[in-house]
Each structure stands twice: as structure tokens, then as C-alpha cells.
Amino acid sequence: MDVVTLGESMVTFVPSVPGRLADVPSFDRGIGGAESNVACVLAAAGHTVRWVSRVGADGFGDHLVDTIGAYGVDTSAVRRDPARPTGIYFRTAGDRATDAHEVAYYRAGSAASAMSSQNMDLAAIRSGRVLHLSGITPALSPGCLDLTADLTARIAAGRPLVSFDVNHRPGLWPRPDDARVLLDLARGADLVFVGEDEAEDAWGITGGPDAIRAALPEPATLVVKRGADGAVAYDEHGVRHTEPAPRVDVVAAVGAGDAFAAGYLSGALRGLPVPARLRHGHLMAAAALTTPGDLAAPPSRAHADRLADLDGASWGTLHLGPGWTADGAVEEVRTP
């Protein structure tokens, strides 16, 4: 197994027409969850992946397991909870950062919030080359926090490479100071993904990527995401790598961070150098940004490799719009 991901996935409802949640007459159903998003993108990219979680013994739980499994993800370690429901949420389309964006979560007391080290299959969770976690899980309950802490503890043997996406969600941390626990969890990981804005919001770290690395020297690799300004990676040898992001015509700014992590992990699993991993992260993020919904079909490996192999000048003028992931699509638009 290449990668195991652990975390809550929920059934999502997005308005079928533009408008406020209070006004729209109907919704389209989908799925969403940081860790399952990563699992689905990696599976679509040709890797063997397992998603571990808890869902309710209900129709929404069936939908999650069936949909995620249809991407080629192993769901055999997903537990059913007869007493707690599957989480759901409603959201409007568009950028989470704007005032017009609305999200309504119905996840309190969900099946996934009951995950703990006592009721989950730790052997299955640790069965991959990589274990991917996020900062959403520890916010769900004390049991989920303890589980995440156990999985990021630097045990002597039997631990896979631990990947941790900070994924700071202010709404999940009622007291801002509580989010500092994410810094402690990140220090136990081998590979950490964090947005420059997240580091400031969650931990009060300003001063850019170098300041974040100074606060997080423990992980062998740290990837700092800077949105449209690209990403910076610090590797285990102390080398700093920077790759700009291609220009993207954004359709919906949802799921891009998860897709970036999947692209980077895919490159790492293939043994690609760090700059190429960053480019594959950018390409997977661009696939998410140019498609509505939480999940987007990634480009084929050959298509992504061709773009990731562009020289610096060509990469710097790459412009990606809707439909670019299709093989043979015209995705390279040179800008002055």
C-alpha cells in the first residue's frame, strides 16, 4: 500500500443555482473531506491508497464508501457506527475567503468524531509507505486529538512516513490559542504542508517561509504554500526549493490544498526531485481550481509529466483554464 489517509469525509450539498443557502430551492450532492480528497486524487493518479474513517450506519455513509471506493480507494478499514450519523455540510460555490461564501456544518457528534486509538485499526492505519493526516481530525474531539497525537509520535519502529497537512479551520477551534496544538502535531511529522496564511492565523508566525521553517525545524521536509505566489519546500538536507504556480483561471477555490498535497506525495512516491514534486502539486491544485466541486479528475501521468518537465521560462508562462486536464487540451497560453 502506497498511502493510507485517515480522517472524516462528509456528504456535501451545493446549491444547484447561485444564491444564498436561505434562498436556493435545491442542492446537488457530492462528497468532501480533506483526507479522502487526497486519497481519491492519489488513486486516480495510479497509486494504491487506503482511506480509514468512521461513518454512520446510514445511507450517507453508504454513499461515501461507495463513491470513494469508485475512485479505486481501499475502504475496507472504514468502520460503521450504529449510534452516530455520517457528517454532512452545505456550502455555496466560490472562495472560502470571501464574505459571500457560506458553509453550514452538521458534524457535531458524527461517527468520525468518535474515532480514537481504542476503536480504530492502528495496524491498518500504519500499513502504507506514507500515512497522511490533517489538522482537521484533531479538532473533532478529544479522542480524535489523542489518536492524531499517537500517530504523529516518533516511535522507534513500525512507523510509516507521516505526512501532515495543517489544514487550519478557524471555525473548528473556538479558542484561537487551541490551534497551537497543530504546531506540536506538525513537529512530530516527517512531511508538513502549511499555508503561509495558516501559519500566521493559527500560530502568529509572520516573516514568510523562513520564519515558519525556524518554528518547525523537526520535520525532514516542510512545504509552505503561498497561493498564487507558488510554494517553497525545505528538504532534509536544508536546501530551500521554490517553484512558482502557473496562472490559473479559477472556477472554484475548493479542494486545491488537498490536491496540492496529493500531487506532491505522488511525486515523492515516484522518487522525483523536490522541484518536480512541487510542480506536480501545483498541477493537481490547478485541476481542482478549474473544476467545480471538491474533487477533480487529475491529468494523466504522462500529461502532468510533460508539463512538469517544461523549462523554467515555459513553466513561468503556463496558463491553465477549464478543461486543461484532458489529454491533448490546449493548456499552454503564453502571456506577455
Indicate which residues carry an active-site annotation: 258
Contact status, residue 264 vs residue 172, Cβ threshold 8 Å: no
CA distance 72 to 45: 10
Residue 266 makes CB contacts below 8 A (sequence gap 6+) with 42, 45, 47, 280, 284
Return the C-alpha cell found at 56.
454512520
Contact status, residue 244 vs residue 254, Cβ threshold 8 Å: no
Centroid of chain to Cα 224:
14
Convert 52-80 to b/e letters by CB count within 10 Å (16 or more is b).
Answer: bbbbbebebbebbbebbbebbbbbebbbe
Bridge partner residues of 221 (DSSP): 191
First to last CA, the chain: 45
Exposed, middle or buried: residue 31 (CB in 10 Å: 0-12, 13-18, 19+)? buried
